Amino acid sequence: MGFLAGTLSTEAYEEIAYKFHRLPRFSIEVVRSGTLKHARVVRVRKLSRRYLVADLKLIEDFDVPPGPAQFIMIWIPGVDYIPMSVANYEDSTISIFFSIRGEGTRALAESEGKILGVAGPFGKALPVSSRYEYVLVAGGTGLAPIIRLAKELNELGLLKGVIWGTRTAEDAGDVPSYFKEVTGYSFSLCTEDCSMGFCGRATDLASLVIPRFKECEVIVAGPNDMLAAVANLELVLGRDPILIMESMVECGLGLCGSCVLGRTGLTLCKDGPAFRASQVLDYLVK
């Protein structure tokens, strides 16, 4: 039995070395990425009654910078560990666009000056192709990943339009000017109560606008019912839009199972958060 007999010739050893060399190998370095780093919350701005933006300056940089649609986990010691989309990343500073939904986000809103833990980036970065032009549609805090995408696409001259929907003019507040400040682009605002901009939901305006941009790639971010609505509209037109999903993420590592998307067997944290509509439609409409 090979090695065990201890009688191998030099040639046999060389053959073994050759075969072993061809076997798949795996870098231990990969194992180390995604560990907890630290960041100081340098500023928390209230953009409106509903939305805030927090700027986190990394004390230790990430192993790889976060790409479009990727997210990070923020550890607020003693409170929570929450998934957050990266709205902007510049000079080792991460901007988080959010609303207060629970203990974790409340603590984040009150964390100016504090040092927090951050892990990531998690999920797959959404590749941007210069072969397409893009229309972006967002609802509520779904705007977070869209800010980062819009900035990149606008710099590349590939952005054809951005639609954002929220409930009221008071909710919108300074969000439009913040978006312009970061991306250099102005979005079309929709309010559900018709108090500002287009009267209706983002999906209502999208259904009017999108059919006119036949060659465009459509990217949508927001709650599941909104994603399903745009996906259906688009699939009818024979297109397969990109959906950036929100879901309960607990570990970000593809292990705990809390963000498994039903029987698709996909996880938001590993396979997403951006998916083609055709991959996840069954889950969204279930």
Residues that bind other proteins (CB under 8 A): 1-4, 16, 19-20, 22-26, 28, 30-36, 38, 59, 73, 75, 77-78, 80-82, 115, 117, 119, 250-251, 253-257, 260-267, 270
Q: Contact, 115 vs 57, CB < 8 A?
A: no
In angstroms, what is the minimal distance from the CB of 250 to other proteins? Answer: 5
Q: Which is nearer to other proteins, 55 or 271 (CB)?
A: 271
In angstroms, what is the minimal distance from the CB of 66 to other proteins? Answer: 16
In angstroms, what is the minimal distance from the CB of 22 to other proteins? Answer: 7
With 0-12 CB in 10 A as exposed, 13-18 as middle and 19+ as buried, what is 100? Answer: middle
In angstroms, what is the minimal distance from the CB of 92 to other proteins? Answer: 16
Q: In what order do the strands lie in the sheet with 134-139?
A: 198-199, 188-191, 159-166, 134-139, 217-221, 242-244, 274-276
Q: Which is nearer to other proteins, 176 or 273 (CB)?
A: 273
In angstroms, what is the minimal distance from the CB of 79 to other proteins? Answer: 9
Strand partners, 159: 134
Give the chain's count of helices (H) and strands (E): 10, 14
Q: Which is nearer to other proteins, 42 or 255 (CB)?
A: 255
Q: Which is nearer to other proteins, 32 or 131 (CB)?
A: 32
Q: Which is nearer to other proteins, 23 or 236 (CB)?
A: 23
Percent helix, percent strand, percent coil in the chain, to nearest 5: 35, 30, 35
3-state secondary structure at position 258? coil
